[in-house]
Amino acid sequence: MVDVVTPEVRSRMMAGIRGKNTKPEMLIRRGLHRLGLRFLVHDKRLPGKPDLVFPRWRATIFVNGCFWHGHDCRLFKLPSTRTEFWRNKISANQKRDQAAIRMLEEKGWRTLTIWECQIKGRSAEEIKSVLQLCRNWLTDEPVSAHQ
Is position 15 within any domain?
no
Is position 122 within any domain?
yes
Neighbours of 136 (CB within 10 A): 12
The pLDDT value recorded for residue 81 is: 85
Using CA atoms, how far apart are residues 121 and 116, in angstroms rounded to an integer? 9
Residue 72 sits in a domain of what CATH number? 3.40.960.10
Handedness of CA 50, 97, 75, 7 (dihedral sign): positive
Is position 79 within any domain?
yes
The pLDDT value recorded for residue 107 is: 97
Bridge partners, residue 64, by sequence? 115
- What's the total number of domains in the chain? 1
Bridge partners, residue 115, by sequence? 64
Q: Is the pLDDT of residue 39 over 90?
A: yes
How do residues 115-137 score in pLDDT, each as one tens digit?
999 998 888 888 999 999 999 99
Is position 117 within any domain?
yes
How do residues 46-67 score in pLDDT, each as one tens digit?
999 999 999 999 999 999 999 9
Residue (of 80, 95, 137) closest to 114 by Cα position: 137
How do residues 9-26 score in pLDDT, each as one tens digit?
766 666 556 667 788 999
What residue numbers bound the domain in which 134 lies? 21-140
Report H helices in 16-82. Answer: 23-34
Residue range 79-94: mean pLDDT, rounded: 93
Is position 10 within any domain?
no
For 112-139, give the secondary structure using H, E and C: EEEEHHHHCCCCHHHHHHHHHHHHHHHH
Is position 5 within any domain?
no
For the chain, give the percent of residues with pLDDT over 70.
86
Is position 146 within any domain?
no
- For the chain, give the mean pLDDT: 88
Contact call for residues 61 and 114 (beta carbons, < 8 A): yes
For the chain, give the percent of residues with pLDDT over 90.
69
Is position 126 within any domain?
yes
Strand locations in the chain (E): 40-41, 52-54, 59-64, 110-115
The pLDDT value recorded for residue 19 is: 66
